[in-house]
Structure 1
């Protein structure tokens, strides 16, 4: 499973792709189980250079009944900022935020590795 993420150009906010638009909450993310559909969404997102910076696909794993990013970096971005539990997206709480906070996956995301290989 994959999801599409980027940073919004106007304010640097971490955003996620959902049905043709960018949303701020990871809980609202569109999940892709088909590589072709994921790559098509990524291509469409990259055609919006005045909206977001560097959109890319991230790998997800199911844990506690919800899908969360495999990479620790992406979990931090989804919770952001993590300086205090009452700040940022993590302050909203909920099942997805709890799963992100308690995840213990150790694998790295293949998305970033593929991005490096393309350059």
Structure 2
């Protein structure tokens, strides 16, 4: 499973793709099957939005003990928002989606991020 992510150009906010537009919450992101060409299609559309987002790429996600979460530790941090204080960022909102992100384990790299690094 994969999710398309980027940073919004105007404020640097981490955003996720959902049905043709960007949303701020990981829980609202559109999930693509690993081999679904729609994921690459969405990435291609996002790459054509240089005045909206910066560096869009697909990340790997998996079902964890509490729900769906990014495989990569880096991407879980991005989805939670600032980690300097639990009362800051998206993690302060709480809820099932945040609990799933906090419960996820492992530090594997997302293949999408590795592919992005290789493109440069």
TM-score normalised by L of structure 2 = 0.94
Q: Which runs of 4+ in 1 moved over 2 A?
A: 116-119
SS in 1 for 2:10: coil
Q: 1:65: Cα distance to partner?
A: 4.9
The separation in 2 between residues aligned to 1:47 and 1:11, in whole angstroms, is 19
Per the alignment, residue 12 of structure 1 pairs with: 12
| Consecutive unaligned residues in structure 2, runs of 5 or more | none
Q: 1:9: Cα distance to partner?
A: 0.3
SS in 2 for 1:40: helix
| Consecutive unaligned residues in structure 1, runs of 5 or more | none
The separation in 2 between residues aligned to 1:35 and 1:113, in whole angstroms, is 19
Aligned positions, number: 119
* Aligned ranges 1:4-83 → 2 under 5 Å: 4-33=4-33, 34-83=35-84
The separation in 1 between residues aligned to 2:103 and 2:67, in whole angstroms, is 12
TM-score normalised by L of structure 1 = 0.94
Q: 1:55: Cα distance to partner?
A: 0.4
